[in-house]
Amino acid sequence: MSLTLHLDVEAWRRHLAQTRDAVPGLVPVAKGNGYGYGLARLADEATRLGVDVLAVGTSPEVAAVRAGGWRGDVVVLTAWSALDPTAVALLDDPRVITTVGRLDDLAEVGRRRPGARVIVELLTSMCRFGIAPDEVARVRSLAQGLDVEGWTIHLPLKASDGAREAAALAERAVAAVPAPVWLSHLSPAECVRLGDQLPVETRLRMGTKLWLGAPGTRRTSARVLDVHPVRRGQKVGYWQHRMPRAGHVVVVAGGTAHGVALSAPTAGATLKQRLTSAASGAMEAAGFALSPFTIGGRKRTFVEPPHMQSSLVFVPAGVPVAVGDEVPVELRLTTATLDEIVEG
């Protein structure tokens, strides 16, 4: 089985260091599948970058980045809940900064662990977590006895005017409790400008643009595990679909467990696409979905939906393909699980 990420480590690290240098107060975000690299790997890279704090998504991910060697402060981005035993236990950890998104929870954290390090989340147009702007004034008294390390503002990716929204919220919050403002999804320049407007420092959290920001530093490939000649009309696969043409069924590494199903666009979704496919005589015209695997210079169609760890794709007769070939595969790295990372 091999779905492989080929990484030009030197070039990637140059990009990471440049980003760190361009973003004062950068807080790298390592969460979920570790943006395809894994949390331990990102923890190691964050250590090399020499940043003072690393953000994780959920409370159990604190242990995951520490397993990767991280020794600095960790901020948990998901708002604290008394229903999360790991988050409750982490209140006692002096290197963990807890995000709090509700007034009741702020009171609860204060009761359970006086002196806990917290940042208070402000509700934005995201409408996810956070204290509403008109509740900000109440934070001052509730936060007494807590170590308020900042306010946090998480803007939508598609904000109509993110910088203005952030500035209005931040001014209101900082007037109530003067503390640094932690931001997401602003440009570094917008973040610096906001810092100049405020009497406190700003910090910018970044995941995708940091870890996945230099696409030229990586490529993903899938190994060809087997190849079988098929006749026109032959039934193939779990679902015994008939092949509309003669050619080869190619078994490639990469299935639903790798996140391949999610990245496979459905071909022929629109009438126009179907007509284009029909005109070019492609498999898509017969209802076969386009796969993310490129063989012989173009993306090939799935014979059927991906299996757990491999996929069946069809190539017409005459396309050279052999067992052991490494073929390009297009993956969204935030939803992919790779079998291995090969450094070059």
Residues in the site for ligand PLP, rule: CB under 6 A?
Answer: 29, 31, 77, 154, 184, 205-209
**CB 216 → ligand PLP: shortest distance, Å?**
19
**CB 61 → ligand PLP: shortest distance, Å?**
11
Whether 254 and 308 have beta carbons less than 8 Å apart is answered as: no
d(CA 306, CA 263): 11
With residues binned 3-state (H G I as helix, E B as strand, rest as coil), the percentages for the chain, rounded to 5, are 35, 30, 40
**CB 14 → ligand PLP: shortest distance, Å?**
19
Q: Residues near 314 by Cβ (< 8 Å), separated by ≥ 6?
A: 230, 243, 245, 247, 248, 249, 250, 283, 288, 300, 301, 302, 303
Which CB sits closer to ligand PLP, 7 or 204?
A: 204
Which CB sits closer to ligand PLP, 31 or 258?
A: 31
State how far Cα 170 lies from the chain centre: 26
Which CB sits closer to ligand PLP, 3 or 206?
A: 206
**CB 121 → ligand PLP: shortest distance, Å?**
8
Which CB sits closer to ligand PLP, 205 or 300?
A: 205
Assign 121 to helix, strand or coil: strand
Tokens representing 340? 């291995």
**CB 23 → ligand PLP: shortest distance, Å?**
12
- Residue 243 DSSP label: P
Which CB sits closer to ligand PLP, 123 or 289?
A: 123
Assign 29 to helix, strand or coil: strand
**CB 109 → ligand PLP: shortest distance, Å?**
18
* Nearest C-alpha neighbor of 248 from the set 293, 287, 217, 213: 293
Which CB sits closer to ligand PLP, 162 or 207?
A: 207
Q: Which residue's Cβ has the minimum distance to ligand PLP?
A: 207
Which CB sits closer to ligand PLP, 197 or 208?
A: 208
Could you give the angle at which helices 39-49 and 9-22 cross, rounded to 10 degrees?
60
The angle subtended at Cα 124 by Cα 123 and Cα 128, nearest 5°, is 65
**CB 152 → ligand PLP: shortest distance, Å?**
7
d(CA 192, CA 216): 28
Whether 223 and 309 have beta carbons less than 8 Å apart is answered as: no
* Phi-psi label, residue 220: left if phi above 0, alpha if psi -120 to 50, beta otherwise: beta
**CB 34 → ligand PLP: shortest distance, Å?**
11
Which CB sits closer to ligand PLP, 68 or 306?
A: 68
